[in-house]
Amino acid sequence: MTQYQAGYKLRDLKAHISQCVGEPIAKHLSAEMSNIELELSPRHMGHGVVLAYQRYTAEFYFDRFPFRKYDPAVLFANVAAWLMDNDSERDQHRQELGDPSIDVVMEDEHSAEVIIEVTFEEPINLIEDDTGGVFWQGKRWRIAEYEVWVAERLRDVVIR
């Protein structure tokens, strides 16, 4: 498992796109994060803390995309499929996140610039760590994924 870090959805979708189009096309793919916003909403989750939520635009840019060799509709379908399979929070925040946007600019009769923009929201998770680089509430923390325990049985529940 890859170490948890902010921007993991951008990283994972870029890897998925690269795998789908193959190495010769993927070498023309770059990705960057812009329009970063933080929603400060700390929540203690037992073994860790959600410090804030990071919302950002992920921009995937192909220079010289060979649209005659690789159907752009297949590229767009793979992006949509990945989002539906891997970004389950999207439905809850559909208003704020919106759908991906795509811009295609023809370069010549064989290639185009393709820009796909996707807005993501991710938690910034912390666990307490004496050597961590985040200083908050008089303690040191590090950015990390933590285990969330989910109740499997309920006992002594009173419904009124």
Using DSSP, how many helices (H) and how many strands (E) does the chain show?
4, 6
For residue 6, the number of C-alpha atoms closer than 13 Å in the C-beta half-sphere is: 19
Look at residue 1 in the predicted model and tell me its pLDDT.
35
8-41+54-123 CATH fold: Alpha-Beta Plaits (3.30.70)
pLDDT over 70, % of the chain: 88
Task: Report pLDDT digits (tens) over 96-150.
Answer: 899 999 999 999 999 999 999 999 999 899 999 999 999 999 999 999 877 666 6
Tell me if the pTM is above 0.95: no
Domain boundaries, the chain: 8-41+54-123
Radius of gyration of the chain (CA): 20
Residues 6+ apart with CB under 8 A from 67: 104, 110, 111, 112, 114
Report the distance separating Cα 31 and Cα 112, nearest Å: 17
- For 69-86, letters b (16+ CB in 10 Å) and e give ebeeeebeebbeebbeee
Look at residue 118 in the predicted model and tell me its pLDDT.
97
pLDDT grade for 95, boundaries at 50, 70 and 90: confident
